[in-house]
Structure 1
């Protein structure tokens, strides 16, 4: 599986405010770039914190891109994946509508009533790991279901966990013209943090987009 992490952050590296409120960091050109990335992907993945904060649909906006997917024998939208170790996904979340297939990754400790409710709401539950989602095992199960190119849109804890598991192949970061601040505000890679053996990145290119900068890295 090829994993592409994409995120928009402020000039000081924050994904949102300390209150986890969504901030419009990108402009029209970057929104269109992200839409194109979604259209090229087999699935789009977020952590449950992103679902709770933003209630995203994770679908392709552009009609022509959806049509090209249909012409290629693909569904209109890529599959949607939620990583949810603590079983917090609301059953009325937009990612559970019928616009695309949805997988919910959780641990084997997830209560069966939650599994039944979220399945009834429209998700296919993938269990991996005893108490929290074991990402290598979960993504292997998804690869068996035909997902070969995965786009990850956040949040910071999920992105950190993927780097910690050595599962990221590309990183694209849009750095916007704003300072959010706050030590409690989420960053690109939260979680425990690295104290050694830092993931190495190879710079591919830098491009001015809207009023910010898009930086693309490969992960050797």
Structure 2
């Protein structure tokens, strides 16, 4: 599976404020780029923290891109994936609506009543891992469902975990022209952090976009 991580962060590397509130970091050009990335993907993934904080839909907006997917005999929308070890996603969340197929990756510790409720709401629940989601096993389960190209939109905990498991192939980051600050504000890669064997990246492009800059890297095969 090809895994492309995409994110927007402030000039000081923050994804959101210390209150975990969503920020408008990028502008129209980057929004359109992200929409195009979604349209190219088989599925779009986020961690449960992003769902709880932002209630995203993770769908393609542009009607021409939707039509192009259908002409290629693909679903109108890419699938949505939520990495949610304890099945905390609300049954009312937009990501669980009927706009697209939604896969929920949970651990075996997820409460049975929550799993049942989310299944009844329309989510396809895939169990991978004991006390928390095993990402390698989870991605294998998604591959069995036909997901070959996965776009990951955050948050920082999920992005760190994917790098830790050496599962990332490409990273795109839009850096906006603002400073957020705050030691508790989420960053691009949170989690425990690395102290050695830092994942290495290969810079492929730098482009000015809106009032910021888009940086794109690939991850070499031996970079983790």
**TM range, normalised to the smaller chain?**
over 0.9
SS at match of 1:213: strand
Which residue number corresponds to residue 92 of structure 1? 92
**Mapped partners of 1:210, 1:176: distance in 2:** 9
Which residue number corresponds to residue 174 of structure 2? 174
Please list, as runs of the form range in 1=range in 2, the aligned pairs for 1:79-158 lying within 5 A after superposition.
79-158=79-158
Task: Output the TM-score relative to the length of structure 1.
Answer: 0.99
**Mapped partners of 2:57, 2:100: distance in 1:** 9
Which residue number corresponds to residue 56 of structure 1? 56
**Mapped partners of 1:28, 1:211: distance in 2:** 10
SS at match of 2:45: strand
SS at match of 2:69: helix
Root mean square deviation, CA, Å: 0.5
Structure 1: state its 5+ residue gaps. Answer: none
Which residue number corresponds to residue 164 of structure 2? 164
Which residue number corresponds to residue 193 of structure 1? 193
Name whichever of 108-117 and 56-65 sits farther off: 108-117
**Structure 1 residue 109: deviation in Å?**
1.2
Do the aligned residues in 1 keep the contact of 2:86 with 2:109 (CA within 8 Å)?
no
**Mapped partners of 2:191, 2:88: distance in 1:** 18
**Mapped partners of 1:187, 1:121: distance in 2:** 32
Q: How many residues align structurally? A: 220
SS at match of 1:125: strand
Q: 4+ residue stretches of structure 1 with deviation over 6 A?
A: none
Structure 2: state its 5+ residue gaps. Answer: none
**Structure 1 residue 144: deviation in Å?**
1.0
Which residue number corresponds to residue 205 of structure 1? 205
